[in-house]
């Protein structure tokens, strides 16, 4: 789960220009049988998102949109049942869900008097039955269920995973009898930055094979793989802010992280891939 930078790079290398489909994932699992599925999916998803961020703009020029739309129209004119939109997305190396959105927008522009609002588009993507054109509805639906990195379903899965891990972490804390304040309670108290949990009594996490321990005031749960890009963004937006307010803390990347990123231990940000077992709590002397 905790990968060295080299291991990570090896995986990332295999992900260049791989479409985000079921099939790709299956191949990836075969290629790296020792890694957990969830970790691979998380890495894949993040790498793919990076790729999309880089190339996003070129798919959004009006020329590109027009050309995609024409190709779509031609394709469905030939055979409405064929996976026209999905193939198109894969061919031009763009996420199927995003391609679906692009074409849907373009379609609505043509067929509605007023340009479609974002919420209408979102709602149609969530439930393609609302799309006035049956063929397009099917095409869009096909894109969405086949896309493993983008789309409303994937968003929901990611959200659910995040939520579930927070709940799991909460259970573990309760099991360890560690009292804490959660995000909602912190927000109610008017904290300006809110990690998932603040321990009301700090603990020390001992690290195996090392003499030192680390004081933990807060814990943040991340149901993803900690790669450089996301970790740096998190450091800047969250972890340092937590440190600035509450002192040293723990980040759990449930799907693992790049070992080399765990370099701020001394400064008060400890990375783990699971809930640490070796915890020292404050001992109350029995008087």
Stretch that binds another protein, among 56-64, 71-79, 107-115, 164-172 (CB under 8 A): 164-172
Q: Check residue 280 for interaction with another protein (CB under 8 A).
A: yes
Residue with smaller CB distance to another protein, 8 or 41 = 41
* Among the listed residues 121, 207, 215, 279, the single contact to another protein using CB under 8 A: 215
For the chain, what's the residue count?
287
Stretch that binds another protein, among 42-50, 99-107, 149-157, 226-234 (CB under 8 A): 149-157
Q: Check residue 77 for interaction with another protein (CB under 8 A).
A: no
Q: Smallest distance, Å, CB 64 to another protein?
A: 24
Token pair, residue 240, equals: 């340092």
Question: Under rule CB under 8 A, which residues in 116-135 are in contact with another protein?
Answer: 127-129, 134
Sign of CA dihedral 111, 113, 114, 120: negative
* Among the listed residues 10, 66, 112, 212, the single contact to another protein using CB under 8 A: 212
Q: Among 207, 209, 186, 210, which residue's Cα sits nearest to residue 196?
A: 186
Q: Check residue 101 for interaction with another protein (CB under 8 A).
A: no
Q: Can you tell me the distance from the alpha carbon of 167 to that of 123, in angstroms, rounded to the nearest whole number? A: 29
Query: Residues 248, 270: contact at Cβ < 8 Å?
Result: yes
Q: Smallest distance, Å, CB 94 to another protein?
A: 17
Alpha helices in the chain (DSSP H): 5-13, 22-31, 37-59, 62-78, 84-92, 96-111, 118-126, 134-146, 152-175, 183-189, 228-234, 240-246
Q: Can you tell me the distance from the alpha carbon of 199 to that of 214, in angstroms, rounded to the nearest whole number? A: 14
Residue with smaller CB distance to another protein, 75 or 213 = 213
Q: Check residue 75 for interaction with another protein (CB under 8 A).
A: no
Q: How many CA atoms lie within 13 A of 138 on its CB side?
A: 10
Rg (CA), the chain: 23
Question: Under rule CB under 8 A, which residues in 224-243 are in contact with another protein?
Answer: 240-241, 243
Q: Check residue 166 for interaction with another protein (CB under 8 A).
A: yes
Site track 20-49 with another protein (rule: CB under 8 A), x = hit: --xx--------------------------
**Angle CA 129–134–138, to nearest 5:** 70
Stretch that binds another protein, among 55-63, 67-75, 187-195, 254-262 (CB under 8 A): 187-195
Q: What is the DSSP letter of 104?
A: H
Q: Among 75, 70, 119, 93, which residue's Cα sits nearest to residue 20?
A: 93
Q: Check residue 112 for interaction with another protein (CB under 8 A).
A: no
Q: Smallest distance, Å, CB 166 to another protein?
A: 7
Q: Can you tell me the distance from the alpha carbon of 99 to that of 252, in angstroms, rounded to the nearest whole number? A: 34
Beta partners for residue 257, in sequence order? 226
Q: Smallest distance, Å, CB 113 to another protein?
A: 20
Q: Can you tell me the distance from the alpha carbon of 207 to that of 279, in angstroms, rounded to the nearest whole number? A: 9
Q: Check residue 207 for interaction with another protein (CB under 8 A).
A: no
List residues near another protein by CB under 8 A. 22-23, 81, 83, 86, 127-129, 134, 137-138, 141-142, 145-146, 152-153, 156-161, 163-164, 166-167, 170-171, 174, 181, 184-185, 188-193, 204, 211-215, 240-241, 243-248, 266-268, 280
């Amino acid at each position: 789960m905790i990968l060295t930078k080299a291991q990570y790079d090896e995986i990332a290398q295999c992900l260049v220009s791989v479409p985000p489909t079921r099939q790709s994932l299956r191949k990836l699992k075969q290629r790296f049988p020792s890694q957990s599925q969830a970790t691979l999916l998380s890495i894949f998803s993040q790498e793919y998102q990076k790729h999309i961020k880089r190339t996003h703009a070129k798919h959004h020029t009006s020329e590109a949109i027009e050309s995609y739309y024409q190709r779509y129209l031609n394709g469905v004119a030939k055979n409405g049942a064929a996976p026209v939109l999905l193939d198109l997305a894969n061919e031009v190396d763009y996420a199927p869900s995003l391609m679906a959105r692009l074409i849907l927008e373009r379609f609505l522009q043509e067929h509605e008097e007023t340009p479609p609002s974002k919420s209408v588009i979102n709602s149609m993507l969530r439930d393609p039955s609302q799309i006035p054109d049956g063929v397009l509805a099917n095409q869009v639906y096909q894109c969405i269920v086949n896309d493993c990195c983008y789309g409303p379903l994937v968003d929901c899965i990611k959200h659910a995973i995040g939520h579930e891990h927070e709940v799991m972490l909460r259970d573990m804390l309760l099991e360890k009898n560690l009292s804490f304040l959660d995000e909602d309670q912190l927000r109610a108290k008017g904290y300006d930055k809110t990690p998932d949990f603040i321990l009301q009594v700090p603990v020390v996490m001992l690290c195996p094979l090392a003499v030192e321990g680390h004081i933990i005031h807060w814990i943040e749960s991340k149901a993803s793989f900690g790669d450089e890009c996301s970790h740096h963004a998190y450091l800047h937006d969250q972890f340092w802010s937590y440190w600035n307010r509450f002192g040293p803390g723990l980040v759990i990347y449930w799907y693992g992280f790049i070992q080399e990123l765990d370099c701020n231990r001394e400064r008060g940000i400890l990375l783990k891939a699971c809930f640490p077992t070796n915890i020292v709590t404050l001992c109350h002397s029995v008087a």
